[in-house]
């Protein structure tokens, strides 16, 4: 696949995830580039710089991981911690049809007075990393949880896949504010995800990582270990500008890094910022409350209001039209 670009146009690889496979090493992967999608996520909130960086990293992880799974509805990533940044939550909604974009949204909850000048990840304390998959009505949701492990959110994700899924996984990512000719400063992010083809299991683990949490190297041995180590050494040669783009296409990056590993690419998946909130969903969430409960939620102006944490949409409702008693009266 090649990007569709014309002189002066925005690179078509922006806001996309490109799947690939290294036939010479039995490893699959993804290359992601986020531009407008990430800017759409972050401009909904006035986050401090440290929090913005964490949300950007989490959004990029979500794009890379979400595309590896055939999501019929939603994949969610969540970090809960005892640090200044209490929670980071993201959702990846699979494309509704072939040729449609996947959607990503994200938000963070934090204590502003506890933030420090240390690195973004230092704002996260002891806690856990979770992945949840909800394939929609009639399907049981899945959830996997591991302790926060490492010095970055991507390291926590690597530990999750090793411990919870027994899949050797590696992320190399870059993100930050960039500007270009005739273009204001804005957020961009790019990254590569590597994952050994699913052969490993708890029964082939060689040992345990620090604190009893498995790592990728615990799950590979023999030829698999040689292939895994070789490809990781190659990935270590990547620099931030190659990852983040936009001047270097993902296909060119793969050839530069892995040409001897016989890279094979598949159709790229477009991604965009998108929220699933709506007035109907707000009404549905309020349908479990009695008239007395609704009265307690009613403002001095006689309205029931709700704000979406992801996109900051504001909903203003007549209290007489919400709650299960209102639904029963209307025949819903």
Is 173 in the same domain as 52? yes
Q: Which residue has the higher pLDDT, 82 or 186?
A: 82
Final residue of a structural domain among 273, 296, 319: 273
Is 304 in the same domain as 265? no
Final residue of a structural domain among 229, 248, 273: 273
Average pLDDT on 156-160 reads 96
Is 171 in the same domain as 292? no
Q: Which residue has the higher pLDDT, 15 or 198?
A: 15
Q: Which residue has the higher pLDDT, 88 or 286?
A: 88
Weakest-pLDDT range from 8-22, 24-38, 210-224: 210-224
Rounded to the nearest angstrom, the gap between the alpha carbon of residue 307 and the centroid of all alpha carbons in its chain is: 22
* Number of domains making up the chain: 2
Q: Does 61 map to a domain?
A: yes
In which residue are the tokens 């961009």 written?
Answer: 188
What's the CATH number where 95 sits? 3.55.30.10
Q: Does 231 map to a domain?
A: yes
Average pLDDT on 90-106 reads 92
Final residue of a structural domain among 250, 273, 296: 273
**Tell me, what's the pLDDT at 197?**
81
Is residue 141 predicted with pLDDT exceeding 60? yes
182 contacts 32 by C-beta, under 8 angstroms? no
3-state SS assignment for residue 303: coil
Rounded Cα distance between 254 and 250, Å, is 6
Is 36 in the same domain as 162? yes
- Mean pLDDT rounded to a whole number for the chain: 85
Beta strands in the chain (DSSP E): 16-22, 27-34, 74-81, 85-93, 102-110, 127-134, 142-147, 169-180, 183-196, 263-265, 269-273, 304-307, 314-317
How does residue 325 score in pLDDT terms, banded at 50, 70 and 90?
Answer: low
Average pLDDT on 37-59 reads 94
How far the first Cα of the chain sits from its last, in Å, is 49
Is 110 in the same domain as 157? yes
228 contacts 261 by C-beta, under 8 angstroms? no
Is 181 in the same domain as 95? yes
Q: Does 96 map to a domain?
A: yes
**Tell me, what's the pLDDT at 295?**
84
Q: Does 148 map to a domain?
A: yes
Pairing of strands 74-81, 183-196: unpaired
67 contacts 102 by C-beta, under 8 angstroms? yes
Q: Which domain holds residue 283?
A: 279-330
Q: Does 9 map to a domain?
A: no
Q: Does 308 map to a domain?
A: yes
Is 120 in the same domain as 242? yes
Is 302 in the same domain as 233? no
Q: Does 4 map to a domain?
A: no
Give the pTM: 0.84
Is 268 in the same domain as 303? no
Is 26 in the same domain as 59? yes
SS3 track for 146-212 = EECCCCCHHHHHHHHHHHHHCCCEEEEEEEEEEEECCEEEEEEEEEEEEEECCCCCHHHCCCCCHHH
Is 265 in the same domain as 286? no
Phi, psi (deg, nearest 5) at residue 254 = -65, -40
Is 203 in the same domain as 316? no
Q: Does 55 map to a domain?
A: yes
């Amino acid at each position: 696949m090649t990007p569709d670009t014309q002189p002066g146009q925005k690179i078509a690889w922006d806001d996309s995830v490109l799947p690939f496979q290294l036939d010479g090493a039995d490893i699959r992967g993804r290359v992601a580039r986020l531009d407008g999608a990430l800017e759409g996520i972050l401009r909904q909130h006035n986050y401090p710089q440290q929090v913005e960086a964490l949300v950007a990293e989490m959004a990029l992880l979500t794009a890379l991981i979400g595309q590896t799974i055939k999501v019929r509805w939603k994949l969610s990533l969540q970090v809960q911690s005892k640090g200044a940044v209490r929670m980071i939550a993201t959702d990846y909604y699979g494309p509704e049809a072939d040729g449609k974009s996947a959607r990503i949204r994200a938000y963070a909850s934090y204590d502003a007075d506890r933030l420090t000048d240390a690195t973004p990840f230092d704002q996260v304390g002891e806690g856990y990393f979770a992945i949840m998959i909800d394939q929609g009505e009639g399907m049981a949701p899945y959830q996997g949880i591991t302790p926060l492990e490492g010095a970055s959110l991507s390291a926590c994700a690597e530990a999750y896949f090793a411990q919870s899924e027994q899949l050797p996984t590696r992320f190399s990512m870059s993100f930050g504010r960039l500007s270009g000719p005739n273009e204001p400063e804005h957020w961009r992010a790019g990254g590569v995800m590597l994952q050994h083809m699913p052969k490993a299991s708890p029964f082939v683990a060689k040992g345990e990582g620090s604190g009893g949490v498995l790592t990728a190297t615990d799950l590979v041995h023999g030829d698999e270990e040689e292939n895994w180590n070789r490809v990781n050494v190659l990935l270590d040669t990547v620099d931030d500008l190659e990852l983040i783009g936009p001047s270097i296409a993902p296909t060119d990056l793969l050839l530069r890094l892995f040409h001897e590993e016989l890279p094979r690419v598949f159709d790229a998946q477009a991604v965009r910022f998108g929220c699933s909130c709506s007035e109907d969903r707000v009404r549905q969430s309020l349908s479990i409350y009695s008239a007395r409960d609704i009265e307690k939620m009613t403002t001095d102006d006689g309205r029931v209001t709700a704000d979406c944490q992801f996109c900051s949409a504001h909903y203003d409702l007549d209290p007489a039209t919400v709650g299960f008693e209102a639904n029963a009266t209307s025949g819903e």
